[in-house]
Amino acid sequence: MTLGKAKGVDVTVIKVTTPKGIKYGPQAKSGETLVIVGYRLKNTADKPLSLLERPAFALIDAQGQRYNPDDFITASAGVEVAAQNSFVADINPNTSIDGRVAWKLDATAFDRNTWKLVVAGDPQLTFALK
């Protein structure tokens, strides 16, 4: 697990997986890969953190190209997380939620040794995928 601290939030990357598919959702087609990042988000501020105020996640390749998450695959991956109903609720101060964020990518382009996860915040947080 890797922890990053930004203003008002702590982000912990718990696990990075590249499954062929999601039990309750889409499967990767030939030439594609799914990347799923499991994380914990803790509100360290003194007020509730709403869904719309949560930091955005992105993947960045070795050339600096940004890849935004796939909302449908993220929602499908989230179904597998326990207590997922808490994900859409506000996160009260000093409490946390576990979540997942997912991407569908070109399998030949994705390299977990050189790509990074970035999380918007003050400061921006960067995590290796290895």
Pick from 55, 45, 72: nearest CA to 12: 55
* pLDDT computed for residue 63 by the predictor: 97
Model pLDDT for residues 44-66, shown as the tens digit of each residue: 999 999 988 999 999 999 999 99
Whole-structure pTM value: 0.90
* Tokens, residue 61: 């390749």
CB contact at 8 A, 115 and 60: yes
Q: For tokens 């499967």, name the residue.
A: 27
